[in-house]
Amino acid sequence: MADLATPGRRPVNANYSSGPCAKRPGWTFEALKDAALGRSHRAKIGKTKLQKAIDLTRDVLGVPADYRIGIVPASDTGAVEMVLWSMLGARGVDMLAWESFGEGWVTDVVKQLKLEDTRTFKADYGKLPDLNQVDFDRDVVFTWNGTTSGVRVPNGDWIDADRAGLTICDATSAAFAQDLAWDKLDVVTFSWQKVLGGEGAHGMLILSPRAVERLETYKPAWPLPKIFRMTKGGKLIDGIFVGETINTPSMLAVEDYLDALTWAQSLGGWKALAARADANLKVLADWVEKSDWIDFLPVVENTRSNTSVCLIITDPAVKALDDKEQAAFAKAISTALDKAGVAYDIGSYRDAPAGLRIWAGATIEASDLEIVTEWLDWAFASQKAALQAA
């Protein structure tokens, strides 16, 4: 790398991974001192903490009182899989995909469940499919915020309020940072590890009354493993939604989630968290606006994520390289910032176009992001100088 002067400031927090994400400001291991370690999750202390996690989730997110909230295994992936295998097949399905995780759900439905009456609407990275094509007489499966593309739906206006099918929304990198249209959503899933900076392995499953009705009136034609079963004798297993988890949760991770929820509640709930993420996106947008070497991957401004911000390198000298060389250039930038200890894990997702992905969720401070942009400019200039000297 060419020897250019490094920025004079360093961010307090160098963690910009898109999952697991940065812990809340001020977090220390002391926050976990009251964890119910060595105790059964079925004991009173365990049940109380799990129920509190559900109650705080409802309060912070503003989940309607008649929606059910459950803690389930295997992170957001587990929550989505439970729903796909337990609810789909009752009617036709419209699948939406514009990044790798949405593509994964398409694979599950088309190649694993092998549902015949399936329509798939896809878009390239950086774009949304035509949402006007969706038929809400059918079930609809989509991600609210594409974590690996940085593209989100701008709102819930495109969803029919008077729909016959269910809307199934993977909201893992949107929950707590974006305005989820609860009256338009029948199933919402997310994990603790994204906007709140919790630990992995636990998923959240939120069901509308319509979703509960589907579970209690429809039986899939295929067998369901225990970990996917949400009904018994044609009735919802209520325990899942009052803290009686299907399998054993980590009480250490539960305590960490409670800490993050308490922090979020103290700020004012999801709206305050969304405001923090919006402020972070503005820092990056202002930097991109005055930059001559980088741009957002999302094409349309109001579809740009305020959490998983995805960027592409637009400098002509870099664009003239072949795909492999462009990927190497982008990786060199992220590696340089990693080595400098100022920004970890900012490379684009492996299936996404070459570039950078910077987490800007609510646990990130805007002041830190401002400093990181100085380091990004330094890393780019250094790598371009090396390229020109080669």
* pLDDT tens, residue by residue, 93-145: 999 999 999 999 999 999 999 999 999 999 999 999 999 999 999 999 999 99
236 and 335, same domain (yes or no): no
Alpha helices in 127-201 (DSSP H): none
Answer with the one of 267, 297, 331 that is the final residue of a domain.
Answer: 267
Pick the last residue of a domain from 267, 288, 317: 267
Domain assignment present for residue 16? The answer is no
Q: Confidence class of residue 3 from pLDDT cuts 50, 70 and 90?
A: low
- 52-83: string of b/e by CB count within 10 Å (b at 16+)? bbbebbbebbebeeebbbbbbbbbbbbbbbbb
Average pLDDT value for residue range 67-92: 98
Q: Is 18 part of a structural domain of the chain?
A: no
- Residues paired with 169 in a beta bridge: 142, 188
8-state DSSP, 97 = E
- Same domain assignment for residues 286 and 158: no
Cα separation, 306 vs 359, whole angstroms: 8
Is residue 236 located within the same domain as residue 291? Answer: no
Please indicate, yes or no, whether residues 236 and 309 belong to a single structural domain of this protein.
Answer: no
Considering the domain architecture, whether residues 111 and 234 belong to the same structural domain is answered as yes
| Helices 44-61, 251-267: inter-axial angle, 10-degree rounding | 30
pLDDT in tens, 233-266: 999 999 999 999 999 999 999 999 999 999 999 9
- Res 36 pLDDT > 80: yes
Any idea what DSSP says for residue 201? Answer: S
Same-domain status, 250 and 362: no
Give the dihedral of Cα atoms 353, 371, 388, 319; nearest 10 deg. 20
CA–CA separation, 289 and 296 (whole Å): 10
In a domain, 176, yes or no: yes
**CB count, 10 Å around CB of 341?**
10
Quick one: tokens of 40? 């059964």
Domain around 385: 270-389
Which of these three, 244, 267, 290, is where a domain ends? 267
The reported pLDDT for the residue numbered 1 is 43
Extended strands (E) in the chain: 68-73, 93-97, 118-122, 139-143, 145-146, 151-152, 167-170, 187-191, 202-207, 231-232, 235-236, 294-296, 308-313, 356-359
Same domain flag for 49 and 150: yes
- Which tokens belong to 249? 């949760």
pLDDT over 70 for what percent of the chain? 99
Number of domains in the chain: 2
Give the C-alpha separation, 203 to 72, whole Å: 5
- Does residue 248 fall inside a structural domain? yes
Distance, in Å, from the CA atom of 125 to the CA atom of 133, rounded to the nearest integer, reads: 19
- 179 and 327 housed in the same domain: no
Q: Return the pLDDT at 4.
A: 86
User: Where residue 390 falls among pLDDT bands split at 50, 70, 90?
Assistant: confident
Length of the chain: 390
| pLDDT tens, position by position, 272-320 | 999 999 999 999 999 999 999 999 999 999 999 999 999 999 999 999 9
Residues 244 and 296 in one domain: no
Same domain for 204 and 185, yes or no, is yes
In CATH, what number is assigned to the domain containing residue 312? 3.90.1150.10
Q: Which residue has the tokens 């995780």?
A: 101
3 state DSSP class of 280: helix
Question: Comparing C-alpha atoms, which of 107, 91, 79 is closest to residue 220?
Answer: 91
Contact 21, 197 (CB under 8 A): yes
Which whole-number Å values give the CA distances from 209 to 66, 151, 187, 224, 333, in the listed order?
7, 29, 10, 22, 48
Q: Is a pLDDT exceeding 70 seen at residue 10? A: yes
- The helix, strand and coil proportions of the chain, stated in percent and rounded to the nearest 5, come to 40, 15, 45
Residue range 345-388, pLDDT digits in tens: 999 999 999 999 999 999 999 999 999 999 999 999 999 999 99
Strand 167-170 and strand 139-143: the pairing is parallel
Residue 21 lies in a domain: no
- Is the CB of residue 254 less than 8 Å from the CB of residue 276? no
pLDDT tens track for 189-212: 999 999 999 999 999 999 999 999
What's the confidence (pLDDT) of residue 112?
Answer: 97
Q: Are residues 206 and 153 in the same domain?
A: yes
